[in-house]
């Protein structure tokens, strides 16, 4: 008894999840120790708690130095807080570098997924074309079915010309999405 489409959905969903997990696992295995460290720092810097701790630290530094000056002590970093500015500048450069490095790695994973989707789509197009061609052949060869010319089925039995599709995409004007 053939499976109903609803019966196939859990299998399809599971297959997609497994394929995605395999791609992600392979990508993670290829990651160097340095890249893993960068990813951990980026994940830490992306937490809301990091922003809070950073803001509290900056505020504490300013309050501590101003309070020291008002109490008659020598401030470690008097206004305009040169050390604080330098530290913030270095921290900003570090965080930007971490984000760019992590984004580059994530772009590689995205590229792998896109390549897989493209290859599967082309393969499915070829399979569908073959199935349509075989059905047309059965229709022509079966004496119980009236033979007729079906231009649409004939066209669909040919696989898509991927280079022509790519050229059409390049030639079409970019669509602007409404805001």
Render pLDDT for 120-174 as a digit per residue (tens, 0 to 9). 888 888 889 999 999 988 988 888 888 788 888 888 888 888 888 888 888 887 6
Say if residue 31's pLDDT is above 50: yes
Residue 7 binned pLDDT confidence (cut-offs 50, 70, 90): low
Structure tokens at 72: 């008659």
Structure tokens at 10: 């859990």
Virtual CA dihedral for 27, 28, 31, 33, nearest 10 degrees?
180
- Segment among 40-44, 78-82, 110-114 with least mean pLDDT: 110-114
Question: Are 69 and 80 a contacting pair, CB within 8 Å?
Answer: no
Q: Is 49 helix (H, G, I), strand (E, B) or coil?
A: helix
Question: Are 136 and 154 a contacting pair, CB within 8 Å?
Answer: yes
Domain ranges of the chain: 33-169
The pLDDT of residue 176: 52
CA-to-CA distance for 41 and 29, rounded, in angstroms?
A: 19
């Amino acid at each position: 008894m053939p499976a109903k489409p609803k019966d196939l959905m859990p299998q399809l969903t599971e297959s997609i999840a497994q394929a995605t997990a395999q791609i992600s696992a392979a990508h993670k295995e290829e990651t160097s120790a340095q890249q893993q460290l960068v990813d951990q720092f980026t994940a830490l810097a992306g937490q809301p708690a990091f922003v809070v701790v950073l803001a509290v630290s900056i505020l504490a530094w300013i309050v501590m130095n101003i309070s020291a000056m008002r109490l008659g002590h020598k401030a470690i970093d008097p206004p305009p807080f040169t050390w604080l500015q330098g530290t913030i500048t270095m921290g900003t450069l570090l965080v930007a570098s971490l984000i760019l490095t992590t984004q580059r790695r994530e772009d590689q994973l995205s590229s792998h997924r896109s390549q897989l989707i493209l290859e599967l789509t082309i393969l499915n197009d070829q399979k569908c074309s073959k199935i349509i061609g075989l059905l047309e052949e059965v229709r022509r060869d079966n004496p119980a079915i009236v033979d007729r010319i079906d231009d649409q089925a004939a066209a669909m039995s040919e696989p898509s010309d991927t280079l022509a599709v790519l050229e059409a995409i390049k030639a079409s004007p970019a669509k602007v999405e409404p805001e």
